[in-house]
Structure 1
Amino acid sequence: MAVRKALAGAAALVASVALAAPALAAGPAHHDATRAALRAAVADGVPGVTATVTEGRTGWSATEGVGDLRRGTPRSTADRYRVGSVSKTFVATVLLQLEAEGRLSLDDTVEKWLPGVVRGHGHDGRRVTVRQLLNHTSGIYDYTRDDGFVRTYFLKDGFLQHRYDTLRPQELVAIAMSHEPIFEPGESWTYSNTNYILAGMIVERVTGHSYGDEIRRRVIAPLGLRGTSVPGTRPTLPQPSSRAYGKLAKTATGPTYDVTELNPSLAGAAGEMISDSADLNRFYRALLGGRLLPPRQLAEMKDTVDTAGHLPGVRYGLGLADRELGCGVHVWGHNGGIHGSGTDAVTTEDGRHALAFNFNADWTGDNDAVLEAEFCD
């Protein structure tokens, strides 16, 4: 759910025609640097990585390392995996579609849609807007920073006991409300998963349907994203997939645990989704290419704010980040981390050149090196 390094460390409006599936090329020479970066990630300790590049109507896919440490089986280019905070772009897209339909305004307060929910220890939903949720300028405390939550759901003893717990969005928000805000609404920027738990709750209040149902109806089905799902409380990954591994500790040393199965309600609208690399490329190309949002809403999504020194080279819009790479190229997208999984999915602004990849580890992996290799070398 948290943004990893480089983002890091962090209806009628839906196009009715899905993007054509790219033809997978054998591996042109200009991807040699990307393959080398994938190999370097495995050499540095990532069990395995899967990646897909789409350029126009052609594509290239590659894997390195293993998908199952016990059996030694390789990763697959068709692997489905947990995408963590990449989910945020899907949620933001639905809210912007609702705005385009006149069903809400980004300048509505959270209180208007969720009366009394954002209250306590200085939090006040009457002073926070939907826009501030989506661009992380709300100041609302991130529930995943709570010490008790970390012990229960991220560290070994707690995770192994509680990995199948179901958590309601209201419970996650209540954890955040037990802390003071990080800053006053609009005064700064910091990444908070609570923002998107609230965003998912607003989708449900506006539409009468869960945010997952709205994502399926408005994005997944129209684009034909067959490897993408909103699992709810389902703890398993659909096939094909690899195992996911974590240290379940505050350091990157020590034993490695299989963390593939977990109840993703602990992430909810902030990071529960599952996808594959080809689908993520299709989604971001469709989004940046104007197939999911009208021009005004896409411009709002791309209206970025400074990340206040938290993420150098990154500006953040509405569930969408603009990253300037070392060579000056800008890529748009999101990354995401959740137990045993680190994902990055980006595209150039014109939607023509896209890359999505996944490490089946949550303690290591250089996202920046892969991005720089693909878009700069």
Structure 2
Amino acid sequence: MTGNGHEKTQQILDRAVAELDIPGIAIEVKNADGSWFGTAGVSDLTTGAPRVPGEFLPIGSGAKGITAATLLTLEAEGRVDLEDPVNKWLPGVLTNGYDGDRITIRHLLGNTSGLFATGLAPGLIGNYASRSTFDAHRFDEWTREELLKLAVSQPPVGQPGERFLYANGGFYIANAIIEKITGNTYAEEIERVVIQPLGLTNTYARSGGDTGYRGPSPRAYSTQFYKDGVDPADVTTENWESMFEEPGLEPLDVTEFNTSWETGNIVSTTSDAIRLLNALAGGTLLPPGQHRKMWTTVPTEGAGWLPHTRYGLGMFELDKAVTGGLTIRGMAGSYWGHWFLALSNPDDGVAFAFHTNTEAKNWDVLFQIAEAEFGFTMGA
């Protein structure tokens, strides 16, 4: 495809598939000239079917922004204060050395609570550590109570407010607080305050036992497995890369997978995701005070997370030192068989969302696309 202004991005997609063992990648870009949809690779390795517009995609930890926006809306409605301690709403949930009188809702949403990195919890990762254990547990359903116990299954790694450390467990607790405040399910409340107001007709929270989609979706493939004999209890944020199986193995089809352990188990499309992100990045969903709270950020450097970023509440910004001063805001999620990411410049309305039907392989893909679409050079 030539002459559309996205030639560099198309080249990046083609290289990602050719060089990084990504089965298929799809991107939607929206700017002042309209929208563009680009693909490389395939949706299905068996049939060779291409990626197509309108695919339903799990957004993984992109749901953290929805959780944060919901609690910020409830705060604007006078029903909660982000400085409320967890014990006010869920007394006794924070155990194992965590202080529910000191950890606030804001700490949970900003990943500054001192909770350990839940994604590395032996109680979770052990179920999916190898190909054989994945197949044995892929349809396991996690209840809210089990997730709350998982969130505190390892001791604290810091004091509340001390530093950023990515912890899904904080959002398990935050989702439970939403339900406690409102009396609604998480799915019902995000429908009321986020999905309906923004007209996100193709975005929804899957029920606990749902492993399907409401429309077309790509097959999902993973090579994100530990070597045989690795004990997940031995995995840390420092050594996890060395624990993975050797490269070159055929990917496992992980399309049918119960992801009730995910932050919100949200499914969306690239188009809906861009609309959501533009609203959260640009301040058209939340009142000004709550919008400022969402985008009061802390550095993530040294936390083993997405590089060159600062974290707000459920959302992140690219460090302006690498964007040439541009404000670039986003949401992202990666797990077995999926990598979803969306970025937006709220000052000029340029935004994109992309998805690969395998987990994150290389952050360079993100930054190269960002350079191409937003017009900056990293660090320049």
Shared fold, TM over 0.5? yes
In structure 2, the partner of 1:205 is 180
Greater Cα shift, 49-58 or 63-72: 49-58
Unpaired runs of 5+ residues, structure 1, are 1-25
Aligned match for 1:110, one of 75, 78, 86:
86
- Counterpart of 1:90? 66
Q: Answer with 278-287 or 93-102: which moved more.
A: 278-287
Matches of 2:109 and 2:165 in 1, distance apart? 11
Summarize the Cα distance change of 1:142–1:154 in structure 2 as closer, same or farther, 3 Å threshold. same
User: Which residue number in structure 2 is paired with residue 303 of structure 1?
Assistant: 296
Matched, 1:158 2:125: no
The reply on whether 1:283 has 2:276 as its aligned counterpart is yes
* RMSD (Å), alpha carbons: 1.8
Q: Decide whether aligned partners of structure 1 residues 354 and 27 sit closer, same or farther in structure 2, where only a CA change above 3 A counts.
A: farther
Q: Deviations over 1:211-231 (max 9, x none)?
A: 211111222122221221110
**What CA deviation, in whole Å up to 9, does each residue of 1:9-40 have, x standing for no partner?**
xxxxxxxxxxxxxxxxx875421111111111
- Tell me whether 78-87 or 284-293 shows the greater mean CA deviation: 284-293
Question: Which sections of structure 2, spanning at least 5 residues, go unmatched?
Answer: 226-243
Alignment of 1:1-377 (within 5 A): 28-44=3-19, 45-56=21-32, 58-120=34-96, 122-233=97-208, 234-249=210-225, 250-251=244-245, 252-267=247-262, 270-310=263-303, 311-324=306-319, 326-328=322-324, 329-350=326-347, 352-362=349-359, 364-365=361-362, 366-376=365-375
Contact 1:247 1:363 in 2 (8 A): no
Q: Deviations over 1:85-119 (max 9, x none)?
A: 10101111000000001100010001111110011
**Offset, 1:168:** 1.2
Tell me, what secondary structure is at the counterpart of 1:281?
A: helix
Q: TM-score, normalised by structure 1?
A: 0.88
The separation in 2 between residues aligned to 1:37 and 1:363, in whole angstroms, is 15
Counterpart Cα distance in 2 of 1:301 and 1:232: 27
**Shift of the alpha carbon at 1:304?**
0.5
| Conserved? CA contact 2:43–2:51, under 8 Å | yes
Does 1 or 2 have the higher relative contact order (CA < 8 Å, sep 6+)? 1
| Regions of 4+ moved over 3 Å | 26-29, 324-327
Distance 1:347 1:32 in 2: 19
- SS of the residue corresponding to residue 264 of structure 1 reads coil
Give the Cα separation in 1 of the matches to 2:173 and 2:110: 13
SS at match of 2:260: helix
How far the C-alpha of 1:56 sits from its partner, in A, is 3.7
